[in-house]
Amino acid sequence: MNGDPITRLTEWIEEAGGANRIEAIAMCLATVGANDRPAARMVLLRGLDGRGLRFFTSYESRKARELAEHPFAAALLYWPWLERQARIEGVISMLPESESDEYFDSRPRGHQLAAWASDQSAPVESHAVLEERFAHFEQRFEGEAVPRPHSWGGYLLAPSYFEFWQGRPNRMHERIEYKRSGNEWKVTRLQP
């Protein structure tokens, strides 16, 4: 068993198709709302290293409001074609502005404009309103680089728990749990 869950997760993502395959980096992110009820949605894993998992969103979205209230989250990556899933739990913090700027600058221009056009999670009268807002920002930033809105940026999920599940015949699945203990990981094999 690999003693480093970040290395194992990185290997599994690569085996699922790597960072350029959306299905390999799509993850379900679960947060807790003000009513203490869970909420889940799909986001894209946009970075992974020794610090943890990174994703980006509007700071005014429902998920961001929930993370501000309860800075903990759970994530799940699932690769049915490999019969694998990885569960992660940990503490959430906002990324430094420099990291959010760097990632924003790497996004396609249309995605950058959409970050300006959409007040994520807020009600809207019609899709036409969104299209008008997009056209407005397209014109506003014509001929120049699109700056990152201050209402948009990244988060880091610093993991304290991982579980790697590998499907096996007869439902005799392999489950490996990693729990952080200080600076080390305690590794345990779980029954299916």
- Are residues 173 and 164 in contact, defined by beta-carbon separation less than 8 angstroms? no
What is d(CA 182, CA 62) in angstroms, rounded to the nearest whole number? 32
Report residue 2's pLDDT band, with 50, 70 and 90 as the boundaries.
low
Across the chain, mean pLDDT equals: 96
Residue 35: what pLDDT?
A: 87
CB 88 within 8 A of CB 160: no
Global pTM value: 0.93
pLDDT at 43 over 90: yes
Q: Compute, in degrees rounded to 10, the torsion defined by CA atoms 139, 142, 147, 152.
A: 30
Work out the percent of the chain whose per-residue pLDDT is above 70. Answer: 99
pLDDT of 51 over the 70 cut: yes
Q: Residue 1's pLDDT is what?
A: 57
Q: Domains in the chain, ordered, with CATH?
A: 5-109+149-190 (2.30.110.10)
- How far is Cα 87 from Cα 11, in angstroms, rounded to an integer? 15
Mean pLDDT of 5-19: 97
With contact defined as beta carbons under 8 Å apart, do 45 and 78 qualify?
Answer: no
Which residues are part of the catalytic machinery?
171
Q: What is the number of H-type helices and E-type strands within the chain?
A: 6, 9
Interatomic CA distance for residues 159 and 130, integer angstroms: 36
State pLDDT tens for residues 88-136.
999 999 999 999 999 999 999 999 999 999 988 889 999 999 999 999 9
